[in-house]
Structure 1
């Protein structure tokens, strides 16, 4: 593999995927935090005609926490991996990101938002690919 400065190309790609996940989920999670009322109302309307209607607020809070945790862990994990070479937090961030996408995908499928669910597939595949890349360094 070719080196870019003192980092392998593999490491740069791993870090880039972690930073991407960090930006994706920090923006999404913090948007939910700062516009809590508007986002909560939207989620309640999405699940109004589903069996999740009565727990939509709890699910909204849960996905918000999960997204912020996935974003912060991915972003900080990517930076830490780049600087220190320790990948544990980057891997944890990608795992939390995959879990968040699975939760979002499930919710959209239940709400019959098939186009929205389909749009998450590429993000999910990127997180899986990022985790796979971490298995190559062993």
Structure 2
């Protein structure tokens, strides 16, 4: 119980990452056609237009790994008060969000890019407190 109360902020950030990234990865996997179809239209006319399936596949894999690292990070914090895996999850979440931000900026979807800012702040705060 002491590990929960002394690491409450870290645990809540990790739960946020699990919900955000695992749900997104599962959504991409379960509706591959819908996601790639929408993104092909979103990136049409950009330098990324021909790479949509590859980009979605890479993001899907990284999102799932990020979410699973967050699950493992929670377990490691609760079992031994070790935030190493949690830190890796937060760092990978930040890298993923930067990749998504790059895509949104290339597509000139400035509102979508702005939306990622809140997610990035939460994940960067996780990096800060776990490092």
Partner residue, 1:96: 92
Rounded Cα–Cα distance in structure 2 between residues aligned with 1:51 and 1:130: 33
- TM-score normalized with structure 2 length: 0.93
Rounded Cα–Cα distance in structure 2 between residues aligned with 1:33 and 1:82: 30
Q: Is the 8 A contact 1:109 1:117 kept in 2?
A: yes
Aligned counterparts, 1:37-116, within 5 A? 37-116=33-112
Task: Give the paired residue count.
Answer: 131
Which sits farther off after the overlay, 78-87 or 19-28? Answer: 78-87
Gaps of 5+ in 2: none
Rounded Cα–Cα distance in structure 1 between residues aligned with 2:128 and 2:47: 35
* Deviant stretches of 4+, over 2 Å: 7-10
Which sits farther off after the overlay, 88-97 or 75-84? Answer: 75-84
- TM-score normalized with structure 1 length: 0.88
Structure with a larger share of its residues in helix: 2
Q: Over the residues paired in the alignment, what is the CA RMSD in angstroms?
A: 1.4
Gaps of 5+ in 1: none
Partner residue, 1:22: 18
Which sits farther off after the overlay, 69-78 or 91-100? Answer: 69-78
Q: CA deviation at 1:76?
A: 2.4
Partner residue, 2:29: 33
